[in-house]
Amino acid sequence: MKIDHIGIAVKSIEDSLGFYEGVLGVEQAGREVIEDQGVTVVLLPADESRIELLEPLSEDTVVGKFIARRGEGLHHVCYEVDDLTKKLDDLKSRGLRLLDGYPRRGAEGRLVAFVHPSSAGGVLVELVEKRTEGEG
């Protein structure tokens, strides 16, 4: 399975870019606000994968609460799957705990869903549907 991206929760994208852009020399590939998830997202290319910086829109969001509880740092790992709906049905039939249980629109308008850390060895796992032909 390909790792599409690794999500990192940060208090301030601007401050974090001081490290990623200023020190590592990585250039951001895109920035967008995802109201649904309460975050501003910046994608930083890393070979075929990306680092996804997540800055909460407010303290009262999932990522805002995560930072308040655990501080900045690794938030989730995102794997690419061929058919997200099919994969979610499979995970549900195996009794895994999912955050929503159905696909939602994530960064770049792609379909995503999350597996709860309690079903994935303590790591929040995001699944994203593979791009179809003609998309991005």
Our CB check for Zn ion shows the closer of 22 and 123 to be 123
State which residue has the least CB distance to Zn ion: 7
Residue 70's Cβ-count burial label (10 Å; 0-12, 13-18, 19+) is: exposed
Binding piece for Zn ion, criterion CB under 5 A, among 1-9, 16-24, 32-40, 42-50: 1-9
Residue type, 97: R
Q: Is 55 in the site for Zn ion (CB under 5 A)?
A: no
C-alpha span between 54 and 62 (Å, rounded):
11
Binding mask 7-26 vs Zn ion (x if CB under 5 A, - otherwise)? Answer: x-------------------
- In the complex, minimum distance from the CB of residue 105 to Zn ion, in angstroms, rounded to a whole number: 12
- In the complex, minimum distance from the CB of residue 74 to Zn ion, in angstroms, rounded to a whole number: 12
Binding Zn ion (rule: CB under 5 A), the pick from 51, 126, 127, 129 is 126
DSSP state letters, 25-82: -PPP-EEEEEGGGTEEEEEEEETTEEEEEEEESSTTSHHHHHHHHH-SEEEEEEEEES
Q: Is 78 in the site for Zn ion (CB under 5 A)?
A: yes
List of residues contacting Zn ion (CB under 5 A): 7, 52, 78, 126
